[in-house]
Amino acid sequence: MSSVKKVTLKSSDGEIFEVEETVAMESQTIKGLIEDDCADNAIPLPNVTGHILSLVIQYCKEHTSSSDSNSSKSNEKLKAWDTQFINVDLNVLFDLIMAANYLNVKGLLDLTCQTVADMIKEKTPEQIRAMFNIVNDFTPEEEEEVRRENAWAFEISLKNNNVVDTFEVEESMAKELQTIKNMIEDNYTDSVIPLHNVTSDILELVIEDCKKHVEAAESESEPSYSLASKLIDDPLKA
């Protein structure tokens, strides 16, 4: 019986791992080293800790055996395994991303990046900042500038509950209504904000007024402000 070829990997914190060559070759980086005959002794991996390396090896093992023609593992089972595998602390997730990038394990890089992408999808900027600890270093003027520059991307929708009429308005306009402003700032995750107490024709009027109010504020004309706000408050009391 032929013995299975193995390679030795050494993590940044000195942990030694003995892995089958086929499993190790899931990493294009390691594959290159093996093919260039640089793998006789332990391969040092200074950018990957033992903990993360063990996870990467786990992933590679699972995915090598699945490409084996003898393996009966279905795609669904593999996907389920991946979902379970990637359910980790965010710090570990980032470590895995960096390791997958350094070791060039394409499947793992795609999996980890897709996971982060799913976390970003459909979140408000405030939520994303909170999740990833991003510091907002814009001044209010700069922030306005960016919003205007990319206005089309910052549109959100308002929805009436009874007759499903969706009105899409610029966020700056929607914020004119205190209620909605609060909803936005409370990170209302739904991209459509339902307004239970307002019918669509009233909502239309309100939006029209908001538009005028915003335009008035931009042209710095005082009188329109008070007039508009009177109209805004009434329908919402209904």
Q: Which is nearer to another protein, 5 or 181 (CB)?
A: 181
Min CB(97)–another protein separation in Å? 6
Name residue, tokens 């791992």.
Answer: 17
Min CB(117)–another protein separation in Å? 4
Query: Nearest CA to 184 among 173, 175, 196?
Result: 175
Q: Are 10 and 42 in contact (CB under 8 A)?
A: yes
Min CB(18)–another protein separation in Å? 29
E strands in 135-221: 155-160, 166-170, 192-195
DSSP 8-state assignment for residue 162 = S
Q: Which residues bind another protein (CB under 8 A)?
A: 83, 87-91, 94, 97-98, 101, 109-110, 113-114, 116-122, 125, 128-138, 142-143, 146-147, 149-150, 152-155, 157, 166-168
Min CB(22)–another protein separation in Å? 25
Min CB(207)–another protein separation in Å? 11
The C-alpha torsion from 57 through 62 and 65 to 69, rounded to 10°, is -150
Q: Which is nearer to another protein, 73 or 147 (CB)?
A: 147
Min CB(213)–another protein separation in Å? 19
Q: Which is nearer to another protein, 23 or 86 (CB)?
A: 86
Distance between CA atoms of 95 and 53, rounded to whole angstroms?
Answer: 10
Q: Are 52 and 99 in contact (CB under 8 A)?
A: yes
Q: Which is nearer to another protein, 20 or 165 (CB)?
A: 165
Q: Which is nearer to another protein, 142 or 234 (CB)?
A: 142
Which strands, in side-by-side order, build the sheet including 16-20? 16-20, 6-10, 43-44
Q: Which is nearer to another protein, 13 or 110 (CB)?
A: 110
DSSP 8-state assignment for residue 188 = -
Q: Which alpha helices (DSSP H) does 25-89 contain, by range?
A: 28-35, 50-67, 75-85
